[in-house]
């Protein structure tokens, strides 16, 4: 599965690179239909093409909203584990009690059947509760991740109003093999996002 995603990402990168290359180095036709070379001067003056990037790892480590999300995730995970441990203890106690009653011969056939049904119901309840908690946790994480993504996108739109970058990408190892650190805007992004997040919290 991971290998398939990696291959897909590489293919997308190659296709995007090819399209960018052909777009900016391709030939245009003049009025007579003859191909016309795209001039470097037009590239830099009339339609400059600049790509900036930010380090996703650094952003994840230093953006306060991401830190808060991680802390909240841990809190929720602990709550889920505590509840499941409590349900598991209750199940084990009931099972042990019924087993002791059966071994001592103090249970009738009807009581034994009722005990079996109760144990099954407890087991079903425990599995259903675990499924519900996991689903709620996944929904929570997805919603918060989308909020963070939206915050980053909105900040970059404002940030780029005075920068005029054609693209701003998140750098991740394995996807890009060269980067010019002159276009690294990580510190600007982290600082701006934290200020925006702090103002909203206050």
Nearest in space to 168 (alpha carbons), one of 148, 184, 146, 187: 184
Q: Which residues pair with 173 in a beta bridge?
A: 176
Most confident of 33-42, 44-53, 97-106, 143-152: 143-152
Q: What is the pTM of this model?
A: 0.68
Confidence band of 35 (pLDDT split at 50, 70, 90)? very low
> What does the mean pLDDT of the chain come to?
81
Give the pLDDT of residue 134: 96
pLDDT number for residue 23 = 47
Q: Say what the pLDDT of residue 128 is.
A: 97
pLDDT at 49 over 70: yes
* Cβ 50 vs Cβ 165: under 8 Å: yes
d(CA 173, CA 55): 9
Q: Of 30-39, 41-50, 103-112, 171-180, give the range with the top mean pLDDT.
A: 103-112
């Amino acid at each position: 599965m991971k290998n398939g995603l990696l291959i897909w990402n590489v293919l997308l990168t190659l296709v995007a690179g090819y399209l960018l290359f052909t777009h900016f180095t391709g030939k245009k036709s003049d009025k007579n239909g003859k191909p016309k070379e795209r001039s470097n001067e037009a590239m830099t003056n009339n339609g400059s093409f600049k790509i900036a990037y930010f380090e996703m790892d650094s952003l994840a480590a230093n953006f306060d909203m991401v830190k808060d999300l991680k802390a909240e995730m841990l809190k929720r995970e602990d709550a889920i584990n505590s509840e499941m441990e409590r349900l598991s203890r209750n199940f084990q106690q009931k099972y042990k009690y019924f087993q002791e009653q059966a071994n001592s011969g103090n249970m009738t056939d009807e009581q034994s059947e009722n005990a079996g049904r109760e144990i099954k119901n407890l087991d079903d309840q425990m599995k259903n509760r675990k499924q519900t908690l996991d689903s709620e946790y996944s929904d929570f994480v997805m919603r918060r991740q989308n909020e963070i993504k939206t915050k980053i996108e909105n900040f970059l739109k404002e940030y780029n109003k005075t920068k005029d970058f054609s693209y701003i990408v998140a750098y991740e190892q394995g996807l890009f093999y060269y980067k010019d650190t002159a276009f690294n805007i990580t510190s600007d992004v982290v600082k701006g996002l934290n200020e925006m997040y702090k103002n909203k919290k206050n």
